[in-house]
């Protein structure tokens, strides 16, 4: 299984969400809290987002906290690029049809590796939607609780978001932008993704959502 690839230190929780989740349920849109409606309206005016991310995963079983830093690009509705810079570099890319997960070689004597899948096999709209400001998941697919002060608790319907039980999002009430998402998993693990230097981008070139491995890369097609 993809997650068993031990060389990678990419955000395991984000990867779990992408791999294990089914698409959100179709259905009529639900009425959003006013602030979420304003955020969604603002994000829908642009192509997507660009930001730096700081991620912390609290692993319940080992009582360890894993940290990662990098950059993220999301192009609506289904293209994404995660570049993890610390602690170990790797890249996750999807153009909406193909999914690439690349780990570079640790030293010049080794080869890099890239896993290639069809996006339909791995991608969900749940986390991608949260980060790109889309909250119309369909009637009954997600319940939304307004916790005030720009905080909202979302509970996805079972089977629509992998092992994610809930997601709390924090909104900057002045800028109307998302600056934190915290996922709670059935295992008890928690992952906090903080977005910094966030930009709502009017145009994002598609080249950022394609990956062409060099000759020193082993390909694994699944």
- Determine whether domain 2-221 maps to CATH 3.30.390.30: no
Tokens of 55: 């991620």
CA-closest candidate to residue 181, choices 39, 22, 29, 25 = 39
Tell whether the model's pLDDT for residue 28 goes beyond 90: no
Please say whether the beta carbons of 164 and 156 come within 8 A.
yes
Considering only residues 209 and 22, tell me which one the structure prediction assigns the higher pLDDT. Answer: 209
Give the per-residue pLDDT at 123: 55
pTM above 0.95, yes or no: no
Buried/exposed 120-141: b ≥16 CB within 10 Å, e otherwise: eebbbbbbbbbbbbbbbbbeeb
Instruction: Round to whole Å and give the CA distance between 202 and 88.
Output: 31
Domain boundaries, the chain: 2-221
60-104 per-position pLDDT tens digit: 889 899 999 999 999 988 899 999 999 989 999 999 899 999 999
Mean pLDDT across 110-126: 80
Give the per-residue pLDDT at 29: 54
Strand 64-75 and strand 142-146: the pairing is: unpaired
Give the per-residue pLDDT at 30: 62
Tell whether the model's pLDDT for residue 23 goes beyond 70: no
Place of tokens 């979302």: 154
Give the per-residue pLDDT at 15: 53
């Amino acid at each position: 299984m993809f997650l068993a690839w031990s060389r990678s230190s990419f955000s395991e929780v984000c990867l779990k969400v992408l791999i294990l989740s089914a698409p959100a349920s179709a259905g009529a849109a639900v009425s959003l809290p006013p602030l979420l409606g304003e955020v969604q309206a603002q994000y829908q005016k642009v192509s997507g987002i660009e930001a730096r991310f700081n991620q912390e995963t609290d692993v319940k079983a080992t009582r360890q906290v894993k940290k990662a830093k990098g950059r993220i690009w999301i192009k609506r509705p289904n293209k994404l690029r995660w570049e993890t810079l610390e602690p170990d570099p790797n890249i996750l890319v999807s153009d909406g049809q193909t999914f690439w997960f690349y780990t570079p070689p640790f030293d010049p004597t080794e080869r890099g590796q890239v896993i290639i899948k069809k996006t339909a096999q791995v991608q969900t709209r749940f986390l991608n939607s949260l980060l790109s400001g889309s909250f119309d998941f369909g009637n009954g697919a997600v319940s939304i609780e307004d916790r005030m002060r720009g905080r909202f608790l979302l509970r996805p319907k079972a089977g629509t978001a992998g092992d994610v039980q809930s997601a709390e999002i924090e909104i900057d009430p002045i800028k109307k932008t998302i600056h934190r998402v915290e996922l709670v998993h059935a295992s008890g693990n928690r992952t906090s993704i903080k977005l910094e230097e966030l930009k709502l981008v009017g145009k994002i070139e598609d080249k950022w959502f394609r990956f062409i491995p060099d000759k020193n890369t082993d390909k694994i097609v699944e």
